[in-house]
Structure 1
Amino acid sequence: MYDRPHRGGHRRRNRDDRDHHRHEVHETPEQILRKHILNFGEVDPTEEVPRLAKEIRDFTPVSIPLLSEALRTGVTEQPYKTPYYAAILRVLYDPTEGEDAAASGSSSLGKQILEDFWKGFQAYLDKLAWREIRLCIHFFAHLMVAQIISIESMTSLLQSFAAVLDEFGVSYTRGKNAAVCAAEGLMITGGVFKKSSVNNLSEIISTIQTYNESISTSKVLVQPLAVLHSESILVEGADEYLDTAITVLKALDSGENPETTPEFPQPYLAFPDIDPAVSSPFELPSILVPPEVIELDGLATDAGEDAQVKKDDWPEYFLHIFDNTVSPDPLTIEGFLLRSNILDISKLFEVNRKECARLLLEYPKWCIPGTFKPRPGAPELEDDGTAKNWQLESTVIETILGALFLLPEASYKSIYYVSLITELCKLSPSTVGPAVGKSIRKLYNTIADGLDVDISRRFADWFAVHMSNFGFQWVWKEWVPDLALTDQHPRRAFIRRAIEYEIRLSYHDRILKTLPEAMQTDSTVIADQGPGPEFNYEDPANPHYDAAQSIIGLLRGRSKADEVIAHLDSLKNTMDDSSGYPDSVVRSLATQCLLSIGSRSFSHLLNAIERYLPLLRGLAGAATSSAPQPPGSGSVEAKRDILNAASAFWQRSPQMVNIVLDKLMQYQIVDPSDVVQWVFAREDQKQYISGSAWDLLRGAIDKANGRVAIARRKVAALRKEEDDSRARAKATDVGSMDVDADAAAAKADEPAADSPQLTTALKAFTILTREQKYALTYTIEGFVACLAAGDAAARSQKILGESAWENRGSWGNEEWNTWETWGWYRHFCRTYAPYLRNYSTTLGTVGLQKIDDSTDPAAELAKKVWNIATGQI
């Protein structure tokens, strides 16, 4: 066989080598030094402090901006290294050997770096970048303890943040951030404050406490363990962030915390005290915290109301899953700062969950030895009686779950926290796995003790996803005894919901095999059949079977919408008894046949809906135009028939009901307010709202709010475009010498007419805002009817008393259903508080009118929850 020689092989290889060298990145000495500063401490931070300080001092030429920027990045993006960065600056703060900084009038390298660092801090302050501000304050606090920053200037800095709390009408977000900045700064510097003559500790604590008391009412709505009959903000098994901070500060001020051992690393104390004659302490400049910038877009729809809705901040309650021998007590300085550090790591590294998991498992390296138990295989430390030996994995899992279960919602999407726990398990399955298992069991045990309904839903979601990542292996037999509880008991509801979520992530038969026999045979735990369509007209024995087949034939043949509509019209007059098909039957037939065609996949569903939009709009009695229609357009009865048919078709798959209703709202077949009314009017929802019903309500309200937000942005963009065009035209007219001055002035005084595009956008915005109000109003009315009006008030009375709560072990389905409905009402009010507050007068007058004059305990509680959410108390 003839083999052709390979020509040019060496040339190609040489060319590849040249390309490789051409694309090599050669780092400059400055970049290398910056990388060394940021990567500092990967092996042993204590040993690396003097070596890195020497490298910085020996680097030439000196670049102060480079050094301060690298240090500032390290402090704000790797806060667990802050004490060691302070130690490095402490070494650099001393003059070099043989140099007398005071005599020469020059500043030491450390002082120059700190001066430039302050400029960066001022930039954070101007932008109100609260996280960076707080982490820089941590750095300044450590530097004060290291004698680099004067006590007087540090006191003034903390007082500047405490002064924010005295501002008139300070928002909760601004007040909380300022309070935390001052509180955490005091925790780090408190011991030095106590020993100094400049002691403003009590004054700052008092200011924070006064502010905290002013917002205490709102804490009632975000307690993770809710008790309806109690107004106390103290919850067993959970703590609120500011409450905890104040408790820690009070203990510090009273001297209750022992000073025999440090609560956090202070490596800079290993160096000699600074000689004031050689290096004077750095004086932090005085500051004023700039005010918040409030942006108004001018699209207020009610007099005196700003329609711009921004996300609300609420008090933060963290669950306690483990006792203080397993994880740190947050009511101590050490416990508070450890939790703060772990939270900071989880937030800063949200973009890289794998790196975040690695750093969390390596966190003991940045703590005092003995803080956490040594990892398996690591050498045991000598116990001098000061070691805490907490469990790192349990502490990390407790903190992450605390962040996941914040109310009304977590800082990040739930999937991030779930994925982070999964990565932790993959990195160290032998240690993290048991901590996760213990967390699940302890949380499950609190479900019937008042665990918030939305936390219970998120718990089930996390449980199902976590099980899906590890083969759905769980010891279900532990929970078999709870099958003796009533069907609507929270534990039974959790089991049912968790299994439903697992089936969504896998399939019915596989999940069925993972359950013990007692659960497999219980239809209230897992359905006999997997999720799927339930076509009512599939049985030949059904009297409407032939009509359904004729419709399906047209749809499968891709007949035009007009032809299908004509066929439906003909069905109304072709029944055997000559009376014709009722309109409701025709709507049910058409809707279910269309869903049957689209039941194979999401793409089939979307194609079917989009192809037959005129048909669906005709069934709903709505206009065929895609432009936003005024609320209430179309036939209420017709829309309800469509919703009933869709719900019946997917009755074995609540997830698909949500999806189909979302698409019907998206294509404006039904309005969000129609869905809200339908949810509260369904036969099985007249008295109670379950988790699946809440999912439908939330989808409808979010759809209404989202449409208004999109319309607002469109109007703002068009208005800006028009203003810019008018400004350019005016400048052109003024610059033209041919234009008569009087005519130009008269033209400028004329009111400018809006463009057709802007007029249309404003009309759509008005319509969508009205629909948003309707959806919110109907939701409030529905909850009031379920909980506090008429017979509902008597049902609520059974669970509102303290004695009733103590005897909850004897509650039946009715009591637990009522308790869950109250939970969803509270969640609705706190989740949509910004929207409710915007239209509080309108919504409150209409939505609460049935109980406006009532003094019944249920009515009083419903009004109180509303008033807290809207900021009226």
Structure 2
Amino acid sequence: WRSLILRIGEKSPEYGGTIDHKDHIDACFGAVRRELEHSTFLLQCSEQLPHKIPLYGTLIGLLNLENEDLVKKILETTQKSLQDALDCNKIRISMRFLTVLMCSKVVQPSSLVVVFETLLSCAATIVDDEKGNPSWQARADFYITCILSCLPWGGSELVEQIPEEIERVMVGIEAYLSIRFENINQDFVEDLWGRIQDLSKNSWKLESVPRPHLLYEAQLVAGKSHAISCPEQPFGRQKHEAELKYPQRIRRLNIFSASKTEVQPIDRFVVEEYLLDVLFFLNGCRKECAACMVGLPVPFRYEYLMAETIFSQLLLLPQPPFKPMYYTLVIIDLCKSLPGAFPAVVAGAVRALFDRISELDMECRTRLILWFSHHLSNFQFIWPWEEWAYVLELPKWAPQRVFVQEVLDREVRLSYWDKVKQSIESTPALEELLPPKGGPDFRYEDELSTEVNGMVKGRKTARDVIIWVEESVIPVNGALRVVVQTLLDIGSKSFTHLITVLERYGQVIAKICPNEETQIMLISEVASFWKNSAQTTAITIDRMMGYRLISNLAIVKWVFSQSNLDLFHTSDRLWEILRNALNKTYNRISDLRKEIINLKKNVVKAEKAKAELDAAETKLMLVDGEPVVGENPARMKRLKSNAATTKDDELSIRESLESKQALFARALEENQALFMSLYKNFRDVLMERLDDAFMDMDKENYTTSEKQEWCLSTLGYVKAFSRQYASEIWPHMDKLEEEIVHPLFKKA
């Protein structure tokens, strides 16, 4: 029976390979009515397979005819989940489920409208300047979206049964849209409102939502409709927090021409809802996800719409709902599931995005490069590179040329140089954009280098090497380079060799690079030694930061050093190193936060155990008619044992908590210094070029000079870093605005 519920609506063996909805519902109903105590599984399926909600709603409608008490319990559970869903931003699916239950005569239409009106009232209050907090418009928009997104599933029934009440809701939504803060371009809420209006004019008819309840209309009309109550509303402040908690469900990417995705506006919305729900609820099993995406219950083809929806999630800012790798794997599985259709659609999407690469945000460009290189690595690196051969005629800083260059670099990382070269044989000229083939660039074969090599191979201790450095190397000018390059050369054979050298002789490097200035020199030596491998450069610097041989401030200063500025717009190499440094700093703080929370929980647990013991010891009991202090012996023994165990741990936990809090305080100070340094360096390098760059713009032909492209790229990275680390930057915003942010910088 579980399989019948799970596979309802699919062309599966459980249903003899047919997809007749009536046969499926009849078979499923026959099984479920005998397993009524398992109704929670039915609810779980409706929550996690929301594209099948019309089928589950009809099934519950039929159950309502035979067992009203069971359906009441289902509604009570749904009511509770509605409140929980509101608190954690998942109310949309619960509301769609209730709408479908209304169609199956399980929920009273007027009761559903009360839920709509409560959310509508809350949304209107939020954006009211006098009574509310317009900064939280993101939450208000989310509520309106929840209401509108229910209507394709039940608008027809609501208009038929309670026309005046649903009209009141529509008027209220129109009034809300008139008072909310408007964007220059039509946003998701306005777009959805337009689609719902078109649906209303079309008598609420659409192809993409199955209506199996109509097959049982004569039976369902005899069922008793139940009332539901509206959830309570949470309250909060700050626009940034609101946008984090209530992000737009989708920022639509119109990659293809309208003719490719030619469906009714509301059908497009419904299919997007199906696809987003499947991506969300089946994120742990990508093959099942791809299978569900291919088999949606709609009568038209939607491969182009599917590609647009996936790419809109992959490139969503500030970050996608799931790790980019998830979308990469789903696209691969879809290409394998639909070999005759989907690969060509994906290729078309890549071409369209490539044509507009200069318009893409820098973060989106980076994600697209990482996705495309990984995707090609799963399909033998096959691509018609001759189509893009013209990029060689473009300047080195042209976005399209940089894109091809970075894709090839990432492909080499995922495979090897000769294999990637072979993949571009049809366009051999593109070899110019491949990264250099060579390995490390070791420039020292002198006596000092030979001595260092001998000491390392002779397994001398770090202390012995430090003494030798102090006596023999430091007096020799420039010997730091010799020692560092020799150690890097020894560690260049593999990643394991590098880790071994850093663990064994990290103290030597720390001794000769004790301050920021020498650490910047150390980074320069690493970059010089691995100039032919951006990947190994990034890994080595990242590992050195992990062993605290290099500070994040040194990395920031090195990235913005004069010798690197001209690479900002021609390569991702420097930005990758900077991203790694910021990520490592952010992760340290996140880890400390989690550890402190867990330690505090353990302290509370110890205090609770002691309090329980104290309460039990002072409690009076009657034994043989006489009052006796204390609980029954068995419970007292357990409480004493628990209290003794937690008491032993409590002292060490408190000490650990104090040390972690001290580390956390220091980490926050370092974090502030890091972002102050980052934005100060961004400001300094941009101030030199911003004015001139925008004076150079050819406004008639819309051409971009190199200086302007440099500014656009650099500003793009300012935006990308600011978005990604906004939660860490906000606490320092006042200081940043006071000391660093220049009006011209803000304007740009």
TM over 0.5: yes
Q: Is the 8 A contact 1:161 1:178 kept in 2?
A: yes
- Residue type of the partner of 1:447? I
Alignment-derived partner of residue 174 in structure 2: 206
Matched, 1:241 2:212: no
- Cα offset, 1:309, TM superposition: 13
**Which residue, out of 429, 433, 439, partners 1:532?**
439
Matched, 1:846 2:745: no
- Residue type of the partner of 2:494? S
- Cα offset, 1:250, TM superposition: 4.1
Distance 1:349 1:59, change over 3 A: closer
Alignment-derived partner of residue 685 in structure 2: 786
Alignment-derived partner of residue 581 in structure 1: 476
Deviation by residue 1:492-525 (Cα, 9 ceiling, x = unmatched): 01000110011111111221122257654663x1
- Secondary structure of the 2:356 match is helix
TM-score by length of 2: 0.85
Matched, 1:115 2:72: yes
Alignment-derived partner of residue 562 in structure 1: 463
Identical-pair percentage: 22
Alignment-derived partner of residue 259 in structure 2: 325
Alignment-derived partner of residue 445 in structure 1: 355
Matched, 1:159 2:67: no
Matched, 1:708 2:594: no
Quote the Cα distance in structure 2 between the aligned partners of 1:773 and 1:58: 62
**Which residue, out of 387, 395, 400, partners 2:305?**
395
Q: Is the 8 A contact 2:95 2:150 kept in 1?
A: yes
Q: Is the 8 A contact 1:687 1:792 kept in 2?
A: no
Distance 1:493 1:64, change over 3 A: same
Alignment-derived partner of residue 432 in structure 1: 342
Count residues with an aligned counterpart: 697
Q: Is the 8 A contact 1:393 1:435 kept in 2?
A: yes
Deviation by residue 1:539-589 (Cα, 9 ceiling, x = unmatched): xxxxxx32222222222222111221122223346xxxxxx423xx23222
Q: Is the 8 A contact 2:139 2:246 kept in 1?
A: no
Deviation by residue 1:777-807 (Cα, 9 ceiling, x = unmatched): 11111222232x24443325545xxx74x63
Give the alignment of 1:705-784 within 5 angstroms. Answer: 705-726=586-607, 728=609, 755-784=654-683
- Residue type of the partner of 2:83? D
**Which residue, out of 294, 307, 316, partners 1:361?**
294
Alignment-derived partner of residue 542 in structure 1: none
Alignment-derived partner of residue 859 in structure 1: 745
Give the alignment of 1:619-768 within 5 angstroms. Answer: 619-621=512-514, 635-685=515-565, 688=568, 690-726=571-607, 728=609, 755-768=654-667
Matched, 1:75 2:46: yes
**Which residue, out of 425, 431, 451, partners 1:550?**
451
Matched, 1:87 2:20: no
Give the alignment of 1:98-497 within 5 angstroms. Answer: 108-109=65-66, 111-128=68-85, 133-165=91-123, 166-167=125-126, 168-169=132-133, 174-175=139-140, 177-195=142-160, 196-198=163-165, 199-206=167-174, 209=177, 213-214=180-181, 232-234=184-186, 240-252=187-199, 255=201, 257=202, 259=204, 262-272=207-217, 278-280=222-224, 282-291=225-234, 314-315=247-248, 316-328=250-262, 332-363=265-296, 366-367=297-298, 369=299, 371-372=300-301, 392-448=302-358, 450-497=359-406
Distance 1:753 1:663, change over 3 A: closer
- Cα offset, 1:816, TM superposition: 1.7
Name the one with the larger helix percent.
Answer: 2
- Residue type of the partner of 1:183? L
- Cα offset, 1:827, TM superposition: 1.0
Alignment-derived partner of residue 632 in structure 2: none
Quote the Cα distance in structure 2 between the aligned partners of 1:671 and 1:134: 46
- Cα offset, 1:337, TM superposition: 0.8
Q: Is the 8 A contact 2:369 2:407 kept in 1?
A: yes
Alignment-derived partner of residue 16 in structure 1: none
- Cα offset, 1:603, TM superposition: 1.1
Deviation by residue 1:92-148 (Cα, 9 ceiling, x = unmatched): 45xxxxxxxxxxxxxx32644432221221232332365753223222223334454
Q: Is the 8 A contact 1:598 1:605 kept in 2?
A: yes
Matched, 1:47 2:20: yes
Distance 1:724 1:715, change over 3 A: same
Q: Is the 8 A contact 1:533 1:652 kept in 2?
A: yes
Bigger relative contact order, structure 1 or 2 (CA pairs below 8 A, ≥6 apart): 1
**Which residue, out of 17, 34, 38, partners 2:2?**
34
- Residue type of the partner of 2:293? L
Alignment-derived partner of residue 707 in structure 2: 814
Distance 1:468 1:736, change over 3 A: closer
- Secondary structure of the 1:598 match is helix
Quote the Cα distance in structure 1 between the aligned partners of 2:530 and 2:520: 16
Distance 1:357 1:687, change over 3 A: closer
Q: Is the 8 A contact 1:124 1:132 kept in 2?
A: no
- Cα offset, 1:273, TM superposition: 5.2
Can you give the 5+ residue segments of structure 2 that lack an aligned partner in the other structure?
A: 12-16, 127-131, 619-650
TM-score by length of 1: 0.73
Q: Is the 8 A contact 1:157 1:284 kept in 2?
A: no
Distance 1:150 1:653, change over 3 A: same
- Secondary structure of the 1:839 match is helix
Quote the Cα distance in structure 1 between the aligned partners of 2:685 and 2:245: 27
Quote the Cα distance in structure 2 between the aligned partners of 1:261 and 1:249: 11
Q: Is the 8 A contact 1:701 1:776 kept in 2?
A: no
- Secondary structure of the 2:493 match is coil
Quote the Cα distance in structure 1 between the aligned partners of 2:37 and 2:731: 46
- Residue type of the partner of 1:241? F
Quote the Cα distance in structure 1 between the aligned partners of 2:484 and 2:373: 33
Q: Is the 8 A contact 1:473 1:514 kept in 2?
A: yes
Q: Is the 8 A contact 1:53 1:91 kept in 2?
A: no
Quote the Cα distance in structure 2 between the aligned partners of 1:420 and 1:674: 39
Quote the Cα distance in structure 1 between the aligned partners of 2:8 and 2:654: 59
Distance 1:659 1:36, change over 3 A: same
Distance 1:569 1:829, change over 3 A: same
Q: Is the 8 A contact 2:462 2:508 kept in 1?
A: yes
Deviation by residue 1:258-308 (Cα, 9 ceiling, x = unmatched): 6565552212223445797x445x1432222352799xxxxxxxxxx9xx9
